[in-house]
Amino acid sequence: MNYENLKLDKKDPKVVKAYAVEKELFDFYGIINKDHFVTLPTLNLKVRISEFGEGKPIVIVPGNTGDVFVQTSLIAALKGRKIFAINRPGGGLSEGMDHNLVDIRQFAFESLDYILNALNLTNVDVVAHSMGAHWSTLLAMEKSGRVKRLVLLGNPGNIMGGKPPLPIRLLAIPIFSNIVMKLMLPQKPKSTLRVLTIMGHSKEFVNTLPNQLRNAYFAFDHLPHYKISFASLLQNMIPPIVETELKKLHQPTALILGTNDNFLSQENGRKIVAVIPNGTFYSIENSGHLPWLENLQKVADIILNFLA
Instruction: Return d(Cα 113, Cα 34) in angstroms, integer.
Output: 21
Residue among 271, 236, 239, 234 at smallest CA distance from 255: 271
Instruction: Please state the φ and ψ torsions of residue 279, each to the nearest 5 degrees.
Output: -100, 150
Confidence of residue 30 (pLDDT cuts 50, 70, 90): very high
Residues 109-134 pLDDT 10s: 999 999 999 999 999 999 999 999 99
Answer with the residue of higher pLDDT: 120 or 235.
120
pTM of the model: 0.94
Instruction: Return d(Cα 260, Cα 290) in angstroms, integer.
Output: 10
Residue 3 has pLDDT above 60, yes or no: no
Answer with the residue of higher pLDDT: 255 or 230.
255
CB 292 within 8 A of CB 76: no
Stretch 207-230: mean pLDDT, rounded? 94
In 130-222, the DSSP E strands lie at: 147-153
Predicted local distance difference test score (pLDDT) of residue 180:
64
Predicted local distance difference test score (pLDDT) of residue 163:
64
- Domain of 121 in residue numbering reads as 3-306
How many domains would you assign to the chain?
1
The share of the chain scoring above pLDDT 90, in percent, equals 81
User: DSSP assignment, residue 111?
Assistant: H
Lowest mean pLDDT among 49-58, 88-97, 226-235, 272-281: 226-235
Stretch 13-23: mean pLDDT, rounded? 98
Confidence of residue 6 (pLDDT cuts 50, 70, 90): confident
What average pLDDT does the chain have? 93
List strands edge to edge, sheet with 45-52: 33-40, 45-52, 81-87, 56-61, 124-129, 147-153, 253-258, 279-284
Residues 123-182 pLDDT 10s: 999 999 999 999 999 999 999 999 999 999 999 999 987 666 666 666 666 666 666 666
- Could you tell me the CATH number of the domain that includes residue 263? 3.40.50.1820
Residues 6 or more apart whose CB falls under 8 angstroms from that of 88 comprise: 47, 61, 62, 65, 66, 94, 111, 132, 135
Predicted local distance difference test score (pLDDT) of residue 4:
60
Lowest mean pLDDT among 150-154, 163-167, 222-226, 270-274: 163-167
